[in-house]
């Protein structure tokens, strides 16, 4: 029997599954665990099931000790984990790709609709109690049909977003480190372009790449200036891929038409320059937030931890 530390609240079914085989210490506080408490609790752990709010770095791995075998992140993004530091210590790190693809693509499409159709603005207007009535030119947005979606990062979530956008009548271009399955490119009539071309021709740019040194501020002042002034930017990936101050300036000055964000550079803080703008839709990191998806993510993370602890290969190791 091994000791597994779960760093925050996850669906009970996953905790039960871990408990059936191991001693489980699951943080159950309403707030995120403090760093101090986490460092104390991981001491002697064989496995850690981590949430994206907890930083898993050399300090934490060393606080756990040399018996630690696995860090199972309950997220597809793993910028909270120092993967090389895990590898150096022989710790296997895993994430949860696949199971949150559709839920996250649904939020990307939601943000595309919110931004282009000014849905948040309309909702705020009604709730404000101000008078309103139908009018030929009242709250006009921008149609999607025949417009171009530029997908930055054509992994599972990028593809699922493209599939939805195609159903809404959009043309798809994408930028990707590697070529995608030709059958999927054909199904989506998707054309691979470089980032410069994507920014220049897209009516909506949607970000689906992982975050890391290579994608820090991938979209900054220069890239926003390269977009059409009628275009929209949507980010459901990770906040720091976008230079938020530059985005606020572009939205304020009419450099682009609008934006939809589910993630923030200094989450949970939102750049104050964005909060007063009507042309940005703001969601509180809801990408994978459905009961079904969160359960599937937690079960996959639990299965990954259980596999490593019994000497087997986990289903979704981080490579």
Rg (CA), the chain: 21
Q: Which is nearer to ligand GLV, 52 or 250 (CB)?
A: 52
Q: Is 228 exposed, middle or buried (0-12, 13-18, 19+ CB in 10 A)?
A: middle
The only residue of 7, 116, 279, 288 in contact with ligand GLV, by rule CB under 6 A: 288
Verify binding: residue 76, ligand GLV, rule CB under 6 A.
yes
Verify binding: residue 77, ligand GLV, rule CB under 6 A.
yes
Shortest separation between residue 209's beta carbon and ligand GLV, angstroms: 9
Verify binding: residue 239, ligand GLV, rule CB under 6 A.
no
Q: Which residues contact 316 (CB under 8 A, 6 or more apart)?
A: 94, 95, 96, 97, 98, 300, 304
Shortest separation between residue 218's beta carbon and ligand GLV, angstroms: 16
Verify binding: residue 287, ligand GLV, rule CB under 6 A.
yes
# chain residues binding ligand GLV, by CB under 6 A: 13
Provide the mask over 148-167, with x wherever binding to ligand GLV is found by CB under 6 A and - wherever it is not.
Answer: -------xxx----------
> Rounded to whole angstroms, what are the CA distances from 144 to 72, 110, 147, 167, 259?
39, 13, 5, 10, 14
Verify binding: residue 261, ligand GLV, rule CB under 6 A.
no
Q: Which residues contact 183 (CB under 8 A, 6 or more apart)?
A: none
Q: Which is nearer to ligand GLV, 52 or 205 (CB)?
A: 52
Shortest separation between residue 190's beta carbon and ligand GLV, angstroms: 15
Shortest separation between residue 311's beta carbon and ligand GLV, angstroms: 26
The only residue of 5, 38, 75, 109 in contact with ligand GLV, by rule CB under 6 A: 75
The position carrying tokens 């949970």 is 268
Helix (H, G, I), strand (E, B) or coil at 232: strand
Q: Which is nearer to ligand GLV, 100 or 172 (CB)?
A: 100
Please give the positions annotated as active site: 238, 267, 285
Shortest separation between residue 53's beta carbon and ligand GLV, angstroms: 10
Q: Which is nearer to ligand GLV, 231 or 263 (CB)?
A: 263
Provide the mask over 20-59, with x wherever binding to ligand GLV is found by CB under 6 A and - wherever it is not.
Answer: --------------------------------x-------
Shortest separation between residue 297's beta carbon and ligand GLV, angstroms: 7
CB 208 within 8 A of CB 158: yes
Measured CA to CA, the distance from residue 308 to residue 214 in angstroms comes to: 30
160 CB neighbour count, 10 Å cutoff: 20
- What is the SS3 string spanning 3-47? EEEECCCCCHHHHHHHHCCCEEEECCCCCCCCHHHHHHHCCCCCE
Provide the mask over 86-125, with x wherever binding to ligand GLV is found by CB under 6 A and - wherever it is not.
Answer: -----------xx-xx------------------------
* Beta-strand runs (E) in the chain: 3-6, 23-26, 47-50, 70-73, 92-94, 148-152, 171-175, 191-192, 204-207, 232-235, 258-261, 280-282
Helix (H, G, I), strand (E, B) or coil at 313: coil
| Residues making contact with ligand GLV (CB under 6 A) | 52, 75-77, 97-98, 100-101, 155-157, 287-288
């Amino acid at each position: 029997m091994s000791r597994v530390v779960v760093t925050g609240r996850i669906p009970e079914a996953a905790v039960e599954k871990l408990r059936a085989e191991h001693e489980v210490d699951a943080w159950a506080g309403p707030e995120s665990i403090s760093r101090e408490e986490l460092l104390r609790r991981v001491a002697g752990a064989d496995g850690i099931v981590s949430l994206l709010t907890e930083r898993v770095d050399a300090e934490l791995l060393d606080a756990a000790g040399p018996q630690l075998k696995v860090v199972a992140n309950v997220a597809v993004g793993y910028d909270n984990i120092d993967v090389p530091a895990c590898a150096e210590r022989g710790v296997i790190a895993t994430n949860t790709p696949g199971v949150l693809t559709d839920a996250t693509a649904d939020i990307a499409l939601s943000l595309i609709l919110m931004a282009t159709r000014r849905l948040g603005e309309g909702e705020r207007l009604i709730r404000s109690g101000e008078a309103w009535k139908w009018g030929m030119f009242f709250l006009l947005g921008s149609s999607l049909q025949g417009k171009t979606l530029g997908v930055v990062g054509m992994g599972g979530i990028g593809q699922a977003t493209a599939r939805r956008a195609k159903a809404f009548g959009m043309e798809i271009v994408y930028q990707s480190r590697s070529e995608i399955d030709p059958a999927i490119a054909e199904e989506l009539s998707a054309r691979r372009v470089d980032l410069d071309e994507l920014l220049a021709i897209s009516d909506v740019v949607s970000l689906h790449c992982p975050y890391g040194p290579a994608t820090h501020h991938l979209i900054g002042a220069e890239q926003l200036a390269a977009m059409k002034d009628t275009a929209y930017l949507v980010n459901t990936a990770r906040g720091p891929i976008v230079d938020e101050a530059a985005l606020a300036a572009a939205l304020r000055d009419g450099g682009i038409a609008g934006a939809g964000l589910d993630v923030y550079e200094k989450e949970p803080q939102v750049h104050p320059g964005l909060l007063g703008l009507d042309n940005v839709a703001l969601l509180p990191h809801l990408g994978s937030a459905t009961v079904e998806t969160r359960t599937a993510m937690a079960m996959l993370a639990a299965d990954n931890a259980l596999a490593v602890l019994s000497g087997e290969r986990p289903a979704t190791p981080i490579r």
